[in-house]
Chain A
Amino acid sequence: MKSNGKLKQRFTFSDPERVEQIFSQYSDKKSATLPLLHLAQSQEGYISNSVIENIADLVDCHSAVVMDCVSFYTMLYTKPQGRHIIQVCQTLSCSLNGADALVDHVTDKYEIKPGETMANDRFTLMKVECLGSCGTAPVVQINKEYHEGLSTQKFDKLLESFE
């Protein structure tokens, strides 16, 4: 293929079988949008324009319709993120149980404020709203996993385990 090397790689799903399986679960194509977005994000790390175009083609709608959906949900990222995403719950029960200290800890130690990513892409820090784990507050989600009942010390140790 001729290419000047600057052409952006077009996104395709690396697991077409899974895509097919997703479609088989719904009687209309559009309902597959969110599952496909999840799948694409787990492959790419974020939802690029190319992902949006690809999914729009697959579910048979305009890219803007997919973007409308993507931009609504907090779990879908339209920009690349760090290797590990730290999400500190800041809603009331977590806030009452020391969530702010956890955020401050990351900010102090890794020099990133909420919404920022470290220069070496190791961590992205986010403050998020209720994660539905108030009984074990404060709770932090790192990537896909919940870490509950964290003290600053435990949190510090935990973070060390992420490269």
Chain B
Amino acid sequence: MPLLKIDGKEIEIKSGTTVLQAAEANGIEIPYYCYHPALEIVGSCRMCLVQVEGMPKLQVSCNTFVGDVPPERKVDGKYDMVVDTQNDLVVQERKNILEFLLLNHPLDCPVCDQAGECYLQDYSFKFGNAHSRFDEAKRVRPNEYLGSQIVINHNRCILCSRCVRFTQEISGTSELFVEARGYNSKIAALEDKPLDNLLAGNVADICPVGALLSTDYIHKNRIWNLKEQPSVCQDCSVGCNVDVFSQRDQILRLTPRENHDVNGYFMCDIGRYGFHRFEEIERVTQPMVRNGESFDALNWDKAIEKTADLIKKSNGKTAGIVSPFHTNESNFLLGLMMNGVLGSLPPITKKEITYQSGFRISADRSPNRRGMNNICGEIVADLPSEIKAQAIHGLYILDDGVDRESDDVWKEILAKMDFVVVQTYAMTALARSANIILPGLAPFEREGTITNDRDRVQWLRSSLPKKGESRADWEILMMVMKALDKEEQTFADVGQVIKVMGEKFPAYKGLSFFRLGPHGMSLNGKASG
């Protein structure tokens, strides 16, 4: 292992590591713009220059690789490289580069959406000059749409080319290019071939300044007013890690969170903008019971009592409908409660998309099919036959939350039932057909685990407060089970559900919020199904 001395600190690092990576891993800040760990190194912004002992000129740390050198070339007889990231020369050089970058940059931080998370702003504050020495006319260009959701503010652009490389290397769609050259260079897309692929939103994330903007978030808020919480996208079975930015009970944007076992640095626009559907749906926020064509509100005690009564009266002839949209814990509890026939709603599948870099949007647009199959024992494939065979006349449904019209098979099933209980957060078509509606939580309100299609269990944290009288889905199920005298145990939190679940399904044994951490854990093929 090569020995690097950086700012006086001795660090042993893997051969082939760059100085920039070594510094980052060891808490030494080297500023940069064009470098991005997922993209090819171009070394053009020149911001990450450092001094390497024995080299006559400053070196870009993003492209300076540390390796073993022969004993006679070691510095001070032991170091494979000695780097200074803080000396006067380096500090001055950063100032110089920043000055160049800011020549034509507008001073519009007060109205810039990047403010608060802008590397130009941050580095200028840390490393730059306080005032401009540029007395000439600035280069001024109007904003342009690069795609339906992405706008470029050319005046803020520092031509780091991250966005161009993203479309060339990650999405492989190559819509973006650099037009012209030198001082006239600008980021562009062809008019008839705009940046409209499903990964387009990422270019706004990787833009280190406020040049590329998602029209979805533009001028909506200031970043420091928002609460940022880690979560997992639930719009397909990949389970991209995300950060949820919210204010009170409203999500304002989602951005990808780095996880090399799942999504790398990126996410797709289906997931990115998917939260908007929660703004449009009719939320269910209190228990309800059917009264002719409409519903009457109930309190929880009554609702649970009524639900348990119906199930009890059915004499074991109630089937449970688990959901690949729900957490493992909710599905597990419903399975436990029913102890009989389990089915699920028709899947939502679209075309699977795999991009050049391997980034994937799964065909299965539900987040937890793998987990549902893992912890529910047998889920019958042919529910209608099973219902007939077992003379089922009641259903307890964990609703997907997807507002779809029932197909003929389902219409037939529903018609035959004496009662239907729907646990849901949205007034879906299915909920409208229920006898009792129990209000659960929406995707970014839930807590628990989900298992993606590559066997990775990830922890969902609730990012938004509960609405109205709605309760956690596992909690509702626990209450129904208690009323059914099914289970003695009271769970104080979802972690206790996992404990019981782990006893029945050993692959899930020992999982906890802390063990899963922010990046989840692989089941390593231990789970069946």
Contacts and interface: CB of A to CB of B under 8 A. Distances in A.
Mutual binders A and B: yes
Interface of A: 49, 61-65, 67-68, 71-72
Most B CB contacts (10 A, CB to CB) among A49, A63, A64, A71 go to A64
Given A63-B190, A64-B189, A64-B193, A71 B179 contact: yes
B175 interface: yes
22 contacts: A49-B192, A61-B174, A62-B173, A62-B193, A63-B190, A63-B193, A64-B176, A64-B189, A65-B168, A65-B174, A65-B177, A67-B177, A67-B179, A67-B190, A68-B164, A68-B178, A71-B179, A71-B180, A71-B181, A72-B178, A72-B180, A72-B181
B190 A64 contact: yes
Nearest to B179: A71
B180 A64 contact: no
Contacts of A61: 174
Contacts of A72: 178, 180-181
B518 to A, nearest CB: 36
Nearest to A61: B174
Interface string B415-450: 000000000000000000000000000000000000
A38 to B, nearest CB: 18
Contacts of A71: 177-181
Nearest to B184: A71
Given A65-B174, A71-B177, A71-B180, 11 more contacts: A62-B175, A63-B190, A63-B193, A64-B175, A64-B177, A67-B177, A67-B190, A68-B178, A71-B178, A71-B181, A72-B178
A67 B193 CA distance: 12
A63 B174 CA distance: 8
Interface string B155-178: 000000000100010000111111
B179 A68 contact: yes
Contacts of B173: 62
Interface in B58-79: none
A68 B177 contact: yes
Contacts of B164: 68
Contacts of A49: 190, 192
B17 to A, nearest CB: 32
A36 B501 CA distance: 65
Nearest to A73: B181
Contacts of A65: 168, 174, 177
Contacts of B192: 49
A72 B189 CA distance: 15
Contacts of A64: 174-177, 188-190, 193
Most A CB contacts (10 A, CB to CB) among B173, B177, B189 go to B177
Question: What are the 10 tightest A-B residue pairs by CB atom distance, in nearest-first order?
Answer: A68-B177, A62-B174, A64-B177, A71-B179, A72-B181, A71-B180, A65-B174, A64-B190, A64-B174, A64-B175
Nearest to B189: A64
B40 to A, nearest CB: 15
Contacts of B175: 62, 64
B280 to A, nearest CB: 35
Nearest to B191: A49
A72 B188 CA distance: 13
Contacts of B177: 64-65, 67-68, 71
A30 B311 CA distance: 69
Nearest to A66: B177
A154 B189 CA distance: 45
A79 to B, nearest CB: 13
Contacts of A62: 173-175, 193
A147 B8 CA distance: 63
A17 to B, nearest CB: 30
Interface string B318-361: 00000000000000000000000000000000000000000000
